[in-house]
Amino acid sequence: MAVNLYIPPESNIFTVAGIEIGTAEAGIRKANRRDLTVFRLSEGSSVAGVFTQNRFRAAPVQVCEAHLATDQGVRALVINTGNANAGTGDSGLHASRETCKALASLLNITPAQVLPFSTGVILEPLPLDRLVAGLPAAVDSLDDNNWFAAAHSIMTTDTQPKIVSQRVALGNKTITITGISKGAGMIRPNMATMLGYLATDAGIAPALLKEMAPDIANRSFNRITVDGDTSTNDSFIVMATGKSGVQIDSKSDPLYAQLYAALADAATELAQKIVRDAEGATKFMTIQVEQAKTTEEALKVAYAVAQSPLVKTAFFASDPNLGRILCAIGYAGITDLDVSGIKLWLGDVLVASKGERHPDYQEADGQRVMKEAEIVVRIELGRGDVSDTVYTCDFSHEYVSINADYRS
Amino acid sequence: MAVNLYIPPESNIFTVAGIEIGTAEAGIRKANRRDLTVFRLSEGSSVAGVFTQNRFRAAPVQVCEAHLATDQGVRALVINTGNANAGTGDSGLHASRETCKALASLLNITPAQVLPFSTGVILEPLPLDRLVAGLPAAVDSLDDNNWFAAAHSIMTTDTQPKIVSQRVALGNKTITITGISKGAGMIRPNMATMLGYLATDAGIAPALLKEMAPDIANRSFNRITVDGDTSTNDSFIVMATGKSGVQIDSKSDPLYAQLYAALADAATELAQKIVRDAEGATKFMTIQVEQAKTTEEALKVAYAVAQSPLVKTAFFASDPNLGRILCAIGYAGITDLDVSGIKLWLGDVLVASKGERHPDYQEADGQRVMKEAEIVVRIELGRGDVSDTVYTCDFSHEYVSINADYRS
């Protein structure tokens, strides 16, 4: 049911020199599914991460941050599905640390060189024994060709694997960027049950990568929303192995801008794939707010529209009930908003201006746009020159079914 | 499908001396339904109102505020369903003013003594001719016994009429309080497609009533949420005719506190009825936040929980997926929240403490509470001594159906 979610053929997935991936069935929650994924990174790789802003940060998120802070150089990631190890207190932290210890010993590295990730049900103890018992099989299967398998094995309520892969000419060399993501609900700014892993064989100085990671997240994973829920486990990791021979150490490098844009584009594609595969989604909507005074107010309006259940159900019904969009703009929290300065476009159709329906607007035109699977809502606020964009989806019966049944 | 919504027998609805009500079929949107309601108030009545904070304020809301500001003394209300006259610009304002003028001429009062209200589809022109043509029939039917008819004729997607009526001993006299409300979706703080009319035959000085109205709204209509959408038309009106002989002119009157409490209780009951009849609701949830530092932070947490689609779908499924509640508390926006100080209760069951599942918690206990139609979620934040409460409902298939089909 995903909306125009492109799954590249396996032959178009480029390996990233310096990265191997292994998967295994650990039976974390259900039997007979690959629920454990291990990444091994070559020595000298740079790694940076962006994590959830939920105050209930899951145990693995806390351990990730602690391990990154030791600056020992990340050499491995371990990801389990089926259990988020969130709301699990000290025993959850212990389980997450033990997971790192077990993988470190198999790979002959230190525990602080391992970053752990968990996704799934929260408030349930992580079955540490089963997880650790599954690690040797995952390590045995390490191979640089396993990106596709990993895109599958990190899925939870996702219906499709999410993967991007591209080669980019940088100066006189070519670099590779390949990434995977997962997430289908509980998705909103500052991420969600969202995991994203983006790797390149370009070399990037650790300090620079640390600066780039939040910027990339703000252009991609922090611009999507499904249901406004932000999870306890969101994590986005960028890895740079340096194996391509390209090395970027500062923003003043003439190749920096190109590298940044390529990584941000790949991250945006991964983020959009999450919306395309959102729980129950039948439409992909781009909410573009223009002429705002500040980014903050552009985003307030974009999220008010993108998160309104009434707007989302109207899109599900292909009903150009555009008053619901105006209504959401009105309660977005801009207290001095002059509604007479607003223009609202649905695709190429000018729907409203001066606080009312545009005189030339015909319902048939609105209907035509609403029937598309991809819809751009453009809002001109008439207050300034700042623009921002949020991606979202509609709200369907299927969403309720999936979330009412998730644990049964 | 409403949740425990009590409809008193018609014999228990007390008339309010000084208030007559008439209804009519004006064919605003659909034929053969009473969609027009008129209130006539006796001379000398005090009237105060609280209106939507949406920046797109519908035409009737703007006219109400302007008319109240003239201080000519309100003598009539006119309410239509089928069309909200919102997002209709200058022509909408004109239509709303003409409505008042037409009713004023029929009742021999001034247009500024009339308050107009509209609810229904937005961004469509109000069919002024049909509305005005319906007024004589509504006026002809004016009668103090029409509260029940009015509770019906202001309904839109409501499945049940919402009405409260009580007699309260005040000193050595008895006063009557009777009220009606409507609204089923697009309901949240600062009200929604919410109309509420509360009348008493107590006399209240105009300046005092103006002070009381927002306080009453904050204890009732501003503490409910269905889907987080705030409409363009929300209005809450309190009317005091003085016909009982009781007259309260200041807060220092020994009877004031009792009168205030009686009015606030009636308003709370009217507000809760809206949640009980919310679109698709199968459960009525009370979200009680305690030990907050401020009211603002108590409400942030209460609304984050009450508006999370994931929490709401879990309640629909009677699934004690309480991690979703913790998650919502975590993203409520209290940036220095220490989750280890939080306690979460589901009914009488302590579910979580110290950032994790409580050791004594049994899933069966959670399940037992979740199966009830009325559920109290109690959250102790461990930060201060401020409490606040929000009322909400679950999120079902029916909600999506109703909102996807509303205009078809």
Q: What part of B 198-227 touches A (C-beta under 8 Å)?
A: 227
pLDDT digit string, tens, across residues A349-376? 999 998 888 999 998 999 999 999 999 9
Q: What share of chain B is helix, strand, coil (3-state, %, to 5)?
A: 35, 25, 40
pLDDT value for A314:
87
- Sequence-distant (6+) residues with CB within 8 A of B336 are none
> Hey, what domains does chain A have and what are their CATH numbers?
10-276 (3.60.70.12), 284-405 (3.10.20.340)
pLDDT at A254 over 90: yes
Going through B90-215 in order, the beta strands assigned E by DSSP cover 114-118, 162-170, 173-182, 195-200, 203-204
Taking the alpha carbons at both ends of chain B, their separation in whole angstroms is 21
- Concatenate the DSSP letters of all residues of B207-255 into one string: HHHHHHHHHHHHHTGGGB-SSS---S--EEEEEE--TTS-EE-STTSTT
Give pLDDT, residue A229: 57
- Which strand (E) or helix (H) includes residue B64? helix B59-69
**B37 in a labelled binding site:** no
pLDDT tens digits for A86-117?
888 899 999 999 999 999 999 999 999 999 99
Distance from C-alpha of B227 to C-alpha of A312, rounded to nearest angstrom: 11
Q: Which of B53, B307, B317 sits opposite A405 (nearest CB)?
A: B317
Band of the pLDDT at A192, cuts 50, 70, 90?
A: very low
Say if A347 is an interface residue toward chain B (CB within 8 Å): no
Distance CA A133, CA A36 (A): 11
- The confidence score (pLDDT) of residue B383 equals 96
Alpha-carbon distance of A80 to A384, in angstroms, equals 45
pLDDT along chain B (408 residues), means of 10: 87 96 96 96 96 87 96 97 90 97 98 96 91 98 97 91 95 95 63 80 97 92 71 86 96 96 94 87 94 95 89 87 85 89 95 88 93 95 95 83 61
pLDDT digits (tens, 9 = 90+) for A9-39: 989 999 999 999 999 999 999 999 999 999 9
Give the count of Cβ contacts less than 8 A between chain A and B: 213
- The type of residue at A298 is A
Of residues B307, B322, B407, nearest to A123 (C-beta): B322
pLDDT tens readout for residues A303-358: 999 988 888 888 988 888 778 898 889 888 898 999 889 999 999 999 999 888 89
Cβ pair B313:A400 closer than 8 A:
yes
CB–CB contact A400 B404 (8 Å): no
What 8-state DSSP symbol labels residue A107? H
Q: Give the residue from B51, B88, B123 with the most A CB atoms within 10 Å of its CB, the best one to mutate.
A: B123
pLDDT at position A231 is 64
Rounded Cα distance between B93 and A242, Å, is: 65
In the beta sheet, which residues pair with residue B284?
B374, B393
Q: What pLDDT does B376 receive?
A: 96
- Answer yes or no: is B193 a known binding residue: yes
pLDDT of residue B190: 40
Helix axes A309-316, A295-307, angle to 10 degrees: 60
A204 or B399, which is more confident?
Answer: A204
Alpha-carbon distance of B243 to B261, in angstroms, equals 20
> Which residues in chain B have their CB less than 8 angstroms from residue A231's CB?
327
For residue A189, pLDDT over 60 is answered with: no
- Which residue has 């390949």 as its token pair? A178
The distance of A231 to chain B (nearest Cα, Å) reads: 6
Q: For A333, left (φ over 0), alpha (ψ -120 to 50), or beta?
A: left
Residues in chain A closer than 8 A to B230 (CB atoms): 327, 330-331
Average pLDDT score over chain A: 91
A403–B314 CB contact, under 8 Å: yes
Cα B267 from Cα B261, distance rounded (Å)? 10
CA-to-CA distance for A313 and A330, rounded, in angstroms? 18
User: What is the ipTM, given to two decimal places?
Assistant: 0.75
Backbone angles phi and psi of A117, in degrees to 5: -140, 140
| Residue A53 identity | Q
Angle at which helix A128-140 crosses helix A89-107, to 10 degrees, equals 20
Q: Do B122 and A355 touch (CB under 8 A)?
A: no
Which residue in this structure is represented by tokens 């390996």?
A15
* pLDDT score at B189: 41
Contact list in A for residue B279 (CB cut-off 8 A) is none
Specify the 3-state DSSP secondary structure of B104.
helix
Contacts of B381 in chain A (CB under 8 A): none
Residue B188's pLDDT is what?
Answer: 45
Are A206 and A248 in contact by the 8 Å Cβ rule? The answer is no
Q: Are strands A173-182 and A356-357 parallel, antiparallel or unpaired?
A: unpaired
Q: Is the pLDDT of residue A394 over 60?
A: yes
pLDDT tens, position by position, A207-245: 999 999 999 998 888 888 766 555 667 889 999 999 999
Give the model confidence (pLDDT) of B139-152 as tens digits: 999 999 999 999 99
Q: So what's the pLDDT on residue B191?
A: 39
Q: Around B220, how many Cα atoms within 13 Å sit in the side-chain half-sphere?
A: 32
Chain B residues with CB under 8 Å of A329 CB are 55-56
* Chain-centroid distance, C-alpha B57: 17
Active-site residues of B, by number, are: 193
